[in-house]
């Protein structure tokens, strides 16, 4: 199968680490014998496209594009030309620079188009009210795109219900949670270099993630304070960078934990496994809101694959990910989280047991290979349908070959998208 992937962001930028999803899936497709081209959009507008095009660091062809709207019509034509090669077009996220060219090329060539709905972008954008106009556009795109694509994959049950609400048929929705690279994230990775780099001796508690809106590293600082107040020696390491880093450093100073909290700033994703390997306990704190419920958090699956004891917040997909393989606390309760961290730091046997359970969970479900199989099932189903409607695009391709179709959960009554889902829960709580 020939698969054309489109992503709105820059796979070569450390400031857009979430692109690891598309590159990992592309690699899994190649590993299974498929041909892949990946179109991405440069973050640095001053970087020549020709220079970026020479950088081919993956086992598939990468095609850099300019991100901004002034190139929009030329981009549509260029994507249409490239798509003549493809059997399936896949775009990730709701941003116009990738979504609209993907749909245009698919309709022009009668090629199935798949929408990978991996996060609730409007929920994330709502953390930036000063950009309300762009937020409204994103909201409209997320309500429309699922109905225009031939198949849709979702990373959480929240997004599955949103897709159903806007009118996507149940049999067009496929499960595609975030995954980990089981070869790179392993329990036997050596974390000593990361410890030595930051002089982190003794017990180490780690948080990995972006320091931006819709992230909850501030809870890590509260946990660090509680642990210190209880006279338990531990270093806390916050791995990642972002717009909130300065504010978090100042907050650490106010709380009196600046000397026990290490801020690494941005870390290349290639080095993330060794940082996680350095930890004794990993943290995944979240708030209890719809934006979190829509998530399938990458940090958690990478902790799982690394075989780490994890203390996380019991909200959304985190519950499914960690039940029986980690420790769950009430969302936002940093005192409870600190207590669980202390228990694990003082109990090597419990840490070893959770380590085994975590790795097993990643091997069974949360890995890119499993997610790629689900997506291939979606492609094959739509190819079969197009084959019936239009005849085969390539007579040499058996559209029926490949993994069996993934079963989806049964439909359930849902409230309107986003805000109404919150009202539904609020009404239920009020009736108890």
Q: What are phi and psi of 19, to 5 degrees?
A: -65, -5
Token pair recorded at residue 31: 């590993």
**Domain identity same for 303 and 205:** yes
**Domain identity same for 245 and 378:** no
pLDDT digits (tens, 9 = 90+) for 223-278: 999 999 999 999 999 999 888 999 999 999 999 999 999 999 999 888 999 999 99
**Domain identity same for 41 and 81:** yes
Q: Is the residue at 94 inside a domain? A: yes
**Domain identity same for 382 and 355:** no
Which DSSP state fits 240? Answer: B
**Domain identity same for 57 and 78:** yes
> Which of 141-167 are b and which e, b meaning 16 or more Cβ less than 10 Å from the residue's Cβ?
bbbebbebbbbbbbbbbbbbbbbbbee
Q: Is the residue at 34 inside a domain? A: yes
**Domain identity same for 122 and 258:** no
pLDDT tens for the chain, 432 residues: list them.
999 999 999 999 988 888 999 999 999 999 999 999 999 999 998 889 999 999 999 999 999 999 877 778 889 999 999 999 999 999 999 999 999 999 999 999 999 999 999 999 887 777 665 566 777 888 899 999 999 999 999 999 999 999 999 999 999 999 999 999 999 999 999 999 999 999 998 999 999 998 876 678 999 999 999 999 999 999 999 999 888 999 999 999 999 999 999 999 999 888 999 999 999 999 999 999 998 999 899 999 999 999 999 999 999 999 999 999 999 999 999 999 999 999 999 999 999 999 999 999 999 999 999 999 999 999 999 999 998 888 877 655 544 443 333 333 333 323 333 343 333 334 433 332
Instruction: List, as one string, the DSSP characters of 145-183.
Output: HHHHSSEEEESSHHHHHHHHHTT--GGGEEE----B-TT
**Domain identity same for 309 and 384:** no
CATH at 295:
3.40.50.2000
Instruction: List, as one string, the DSSP characters of 181-231.
Output: -TTTS-TT---HHHHHHTT--S-EEEEES--STT--HHHHHHHHHHHHHTT
Unique residue bearing structure tokens 């450390």: 14
Q: Is the residue at 422 inside a domain? A: no
**Domain identity same for 272 and 357:** yes
Which DSSP state fits 86? Answer: -
Q: Cα dist. 11→53, 63, 250, 256, 353 in Å?
A: 12, 10, 31, 38, 36
**Domain identity same for 111 and 243:** no
**Domain identity same for 150 and 278:** no
Enumerate residues 6+ apart whose C-beta is below 8 A from 49. 42, 64, 65, 66
**Domain identity same for 338 and 218:** yes
pLDDT digits (tens, 9 = 90+) for 150-186: 999 999 999 999 999 999 999 999 999 999 999 999 9
**Residues 38 and 14 sit within 8 Å (Cβ to Cβ):** no
Q: Cα dist. 170→119, 406, 428 in Å?
A: 19, 12, 25
Which of 379, 371, 381 has its CA nearest to residue 86? Answer: 379
Q: What are phi and psi of 92, to 5 degrees?
A: -110, 140
**Residues 121 and 72 sit within 8 Å (Cβ to Cβ):** no
Q: Is the residue at 112 inside a domain? A: yes
Give the domain extent around 345.
192-364
**Domain identity same for 54 and 111:** yes
In the Cβ-directed half-sphere of 240, how many Cα atoms lie within 13 Å? Answer: 21
Q: How many domains does the chain have?
A: 2
Q: How far apart are CA 6 and CA 63, in angstroms?
A: 9
């Amino acid at each position: 199968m020939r698969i054309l992937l489109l992503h709105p962001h820059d796979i070569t930028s450390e400031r857009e680490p979430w692109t690891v999803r598309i590159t990992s899936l592309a690699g899994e497709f190649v590993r299974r014998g498929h041909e892949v081209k990946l179109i991405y959009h440069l973050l640095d507008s001053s970087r020549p496209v020709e220079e970026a095009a020479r950088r081919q660091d993956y086992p598939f062809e990468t095609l850099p594009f300019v991100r901004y709207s002034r190139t929009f019509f030329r981009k549509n034509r260029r994507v249409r030309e490239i798509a003549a090669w493809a059997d399936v077009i896949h775009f990730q996220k709701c941003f116009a620079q990738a979504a609209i060219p993907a749909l245009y090329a698919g309709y022009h060539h009668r090629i199935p188009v798949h929408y990978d709905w991996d996060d609730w972008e409007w929920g994330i954008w709502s953390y930036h009210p000063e950009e309300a106009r762009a937020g409204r556009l994103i909201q409209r795109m997320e309500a429309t795109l699922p109905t225009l694509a031939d198949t849709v994959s979702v990373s959480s049950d929240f997004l599955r219900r949103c897709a159903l609400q806007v009118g996507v048929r149940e049999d067009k929705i496929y499960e595609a949670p975030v995954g980990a690279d089981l070869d790179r994230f392993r329990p036997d990775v050596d974390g000593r270099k990361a410890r030595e780099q930051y002089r982190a001796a003794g017990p180490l508690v780690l948080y990995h993630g972006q320091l931006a809106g819709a992230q909850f590293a501030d809870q890590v600082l509260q946990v660090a304070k509680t642990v210190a107040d209880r006279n338990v020696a531990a270093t806390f390491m916050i791995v990642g960078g972002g717009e909130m880093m300065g504010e978090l450093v100042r907050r650490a100073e106010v709380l009196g934990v600046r000397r026990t909290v290490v801020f690494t700033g941005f870390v290349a994703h290639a080095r993330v496994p060794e940082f996680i390997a350095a930890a004794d306990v990993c943290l995944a704190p979240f708030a209890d809101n719809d934006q979190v419920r829509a998530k399938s958090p990458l940090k958690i699956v990478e902790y799982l694959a690394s075989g780490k004891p994890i203390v996380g917040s019991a909200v959304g997909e985190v519950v499914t990910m960690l039940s029986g393989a980690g420790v769950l606390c009430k969302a936002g309760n940093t005192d409870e989280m600190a207590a669980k961290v202390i228990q694990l730091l003082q109990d090597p046997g419990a840490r070893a047991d959770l380590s085994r359970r975590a790795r097993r969970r990643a091997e069974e479900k949360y890995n890119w290979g499993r997610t790629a199989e689900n997506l291939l099932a979606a492609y094959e189903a739509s190819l079969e349908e197009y084959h019936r409607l239009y005849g085969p695009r390539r007579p040499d391709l058996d559209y029926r070959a490949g993994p069996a179709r993934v079963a989806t959960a049964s439909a359930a009554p849902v409230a309107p998208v986003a805000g109404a889902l919150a009202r539904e829960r609020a009404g239920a709580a009020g009736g108890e």
